[in-house]
């Protein structure tokens, strides 16, 4: 579903954030990306959606190679990547429902589109998703009235309403308390299983990763130094 070949990123500052990373993620597989701060985890995720331009190497989503796409084609491919962020990236003044529906619009032309009515199937799907994550009663609340865990649930719904092929998840629990973090990780992993979605979850907390995923990638100095089931992790990874 998602394949990285010799993916390399050297920033203008000379930082070698990724050194020829090869990675193959089959359909439906959820993997956790762990490693110390500065290992290259964020860079890896951002090279996939090209928020960061890779220096060399290739990224395949399904059969499509992403690093050479034009702006228009890239916009279409990005619709197949659901993003979930550490700080949720909700629009605070909009309602929960509107934030979820914004996932149908992409990040460009978003405000303008609110002047139009949403198609009923999108609204129905948004209600189904909110129900699934336990936020149905909050649909008309403003995003800034929610707790951190509730916000992340909205972020999850917004990513899923795109009907993505893959989820890119960047530190989803870094701003949450331990109990809420477990709930959010469980929810993300359950939803991926239900929908057969592949996901990369960039996560600091190794113990949390071990609880929920079958495959862990350990990154250090921009290279993969561990790839396997969590039970094979040694304490120094
Ligand atoms: P992680 O997400 O694992 O903490 P990052 O991908 O953020 O790692 O960073 C990997 C390396 O690349 C670090 O050395 C970091 O300082 C460097 N880096 C990240 N972003 C930039 C940038 N925009 N410009 C220059 N160097 C960067
Ligand atoms: P993260 O928690 O995602 O690893 P960081 O605190 O490493 O975030 O970086 C925050 C922002 O600064 C990011 O946009 C990252 O790309 C950029 N950045 C990180 N390291 C450097 C660096 N050495 N030089 C320039 N920009 C950097």
pLDDT tens for residues 109-156?
555 566 567 788 889 999 999 999 999 999 999 999 999 999 999 999
Q: Distance (Å, rounded) from C-alpha 201 to C-alpha 214?
A: 12
Q: Please report which ligand is nearest the Cα atom of 34.
A: 1
Instruction: Please identify every stretch of the chain with a pLDDT value under 50, giving residue numbers as ranges.
Output: 108
Q: Is the ipTM of this complex over 0.85?
A: no
Ligand 2-lining residues (CB < 6 angstroms):
13, 15, 42
Write the pLDDT tens digit of every residue in 150-176.
999 999 999 999 999 999 999 999 999
CA-nearest residue, atom 13 of ligand 1: 38
| Centroid of ligand 2 to alpha carbon of 125 (angstroms) | 35
Ligand 1 nearest atom to the CA of residue 222, by list position: 10
Helix/strand/coil (H/E/C) assignment for every residue in the chain: CEEEEEEEEECCCCCEEEEEEEEEECCCCEEEEECCCCCCHHHHHHHHCCCCCCCEEEEEECCEECCCCCHHHHHHHHCCEEEECCCCCCCCCCEHHHHHHHCCCCCCCHHHHCCCCCCHHHHHHHHHHHHHCCCHHHCCCEHHHCCHHHHHHHHHHHHHCCCCCEEEEECCCCCCCHHHHHHHHHHHHHHHHHHCCEEEEECCCHHHHHHHCCEEEEEECCEEEEEECHHHCCCCC
Pocket test for ligand 2, best of 13, 18, 42 (most atoms within 8 A of CB): 42
Q: What is the pLDDT of residue 56?
A: 97
pTM exceeds 0.80: yes
Cβ of 42 below 6 Å from ligand 1: yes
Q: What is the pLDDT of residue 114?
A: 63
Q: Please report which ligand is nearest the Cα atom of 171.
A: 2
Burial tier of 19 (Cβ tally within 10 Å: 0-12, 13-18, 19+): middle
Decide if 69 contacts 53 (C-beta within 8 A). no
Ligand 1 nearest atom to the CA of residue 9, by list position: 12
Pocket test for ligand 1, best of 10, 12, 43 (most atoms within 8 A of CB): 43
Ligand 1 nearest atom to the CA of residue 44, by list position: 6
Cβ of 13 below 6 Å from ligand 1: yes
Q: What is the pLDDT of residue 133?
A: 95
């Amino acid at each position: 579903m998602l394949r990285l070949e010799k993916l390399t990123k050297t920033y203008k500052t000379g930082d070698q954030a990724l050194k020829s990373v090869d990675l193959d993620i089959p359909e439906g597989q959820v993997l956790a990306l762990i490693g110390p701060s500065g290992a290259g985890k964020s860079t890896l995720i951002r090279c996939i959606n090209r928020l960061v331009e890779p220096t060399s190497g290739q990224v395949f989503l399904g059969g499509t190679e992403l690093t050479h796409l034009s702006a228009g084609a890239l916009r279409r491919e990005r619709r197949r990547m659901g993003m979930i962020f550490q700080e949720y990236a909700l629009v605070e003044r909009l309602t929960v429902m509107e934030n979820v529906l914004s996932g149908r619009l992409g990040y460009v032309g978003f405000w303008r589109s609110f002047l139009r009515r949403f198609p009923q199937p999108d609204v129905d799907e948004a209600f189904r998703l909110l129900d699934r994550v336990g936020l149905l009663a909050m649909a008309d609340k403003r995003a800034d009235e929610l707790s951190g865990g509730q916000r992340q649930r909205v972020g999850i719904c917004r990513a899923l309403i795109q009907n993505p092929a893959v989820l890119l998840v960047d530190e989803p629990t870094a701003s949450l308390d331990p109990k809420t973090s477990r709930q959010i990780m469980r929810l993300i992993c359950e939803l991926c299983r239900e929908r057969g979605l592949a996901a990369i979850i960039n996560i600091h907390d190794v113990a949390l990763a071990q609880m929920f995923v079958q495959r862990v990638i350990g990154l250090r100095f921009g290279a993969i130094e561990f790839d396997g089931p969590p039970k094979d992790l040694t304490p120094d990874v």
